[in-house]
Amino acid sequence: MTPDPGSQVPAAHGPVAFGQLPTALRKVTYSGARHPGAATPECPSHGPEGAPGDAGPAAAGALADLARGANCQRYAYAVLRHFGLPVPPLRSAELWADERATVRAGAPRPLDLVLFDAGPAAGRPEGYGAHVGVHLGPDQVLHLCREVGRPAVWRYADFAARARYARRLGFKRVRQGAGR
């Protein structure tokens, strides 16, 4: 991986790829209040004016914004933005339903989003409250959760062992240029 963010996919998967991320993406603390759609500043996948796709100084500003913490979605979107894949500030149900910026994917590829939940809930749309991570490679998901408090790389079995993440809802792939 080079220091230049772009559409570079990590050469190595799992913990090795995590170790190559900028410090700002490795040291984020969990904050449930820092979700997409939260008060200004907006989701780090958007520039200071809220304009998607600004990969210049806004990318640095987005990383600096993580200093106040993030939830799983905000963190996953910042990771993708680092690799040149901006995502609109969608909450989990909106992300799952979205077809403009993302598409559902069968077999995951590195940098696909993966959504987990405890199963369907009456009166809630599919994907509501789902946990979002970034697929790094075979059996490796980078995510930020309250339980750990900092970014971590887990195996799919680690998610399945926890009731709140027991169901893998599916994968979403960011459309190239969709956020630009």
The per-residue DSSP string of 145-168 comes to: -TTTSSEEEE-HHHHHTSGGG-EE
Q: Measured between alpha carbons, how far is 77 from 39 in angstroms, rounded to an integer?
A: 16
Q: Which domain holds residue 53?
A: 14-174
pLDDT at residue 49, as a whole number = 32
Phi, psi of 146 (to 5 degrees): -60, -40
pLDDT at residue 37, as a whole number = 53
> Is position 4 within any domain?
no
C-alpha dihedral, 47 to 50 to 52 to 57, nearest 10°? -10
Count up the domains in the chain and report the number.
1
pLDDT tens over the chain, length 180 residues: 334 444 455 666 677 778 888 989 999 999 877 555 554 333 333 333 333 333 344 455 556 678 889 999 999 999 999 999 999 999 999 999 999 999 999 999 999 999 999 999 899 999 999 999 999 999 999 999 999 999 999 999 999 999 999 999 999 999 987 555
pLDDT at residue 54, as a whole number = 37
Phi, psi of 94 (to 5 degrees): -65, -40
> Is position 38 within any domain?
yes
> Is position 146 within any domain?
yes
Of the candidates 107, 105, 28, which has an alpha carbon nearest to the alpha carbon of residue 72?
28
> Is position 2 within any domain?
no
Question: Strands (DSSP E) along the chain, which ranges?
Answer: 102-105, 113-117, 131-137, 140-144, 151-154, 167-174
The CATH number of residue 60's host domain is: 3.90.1720.10
Q: Measured between alpha carbons, how far is 160 from 20 in angstroms, rounded to an integer?
A: 27
| Per-position b or e across 149-164, b if 16+ CB within 10 A of its CB | eebbbbebeebeeeeb
> Is position 9 within any domain?
no
> Is position 5 within any domain?
no
> Is position 27 within any domain?
yes
> Is position 93 within any domain?
yes
pTM score of the predicted model:
0.79
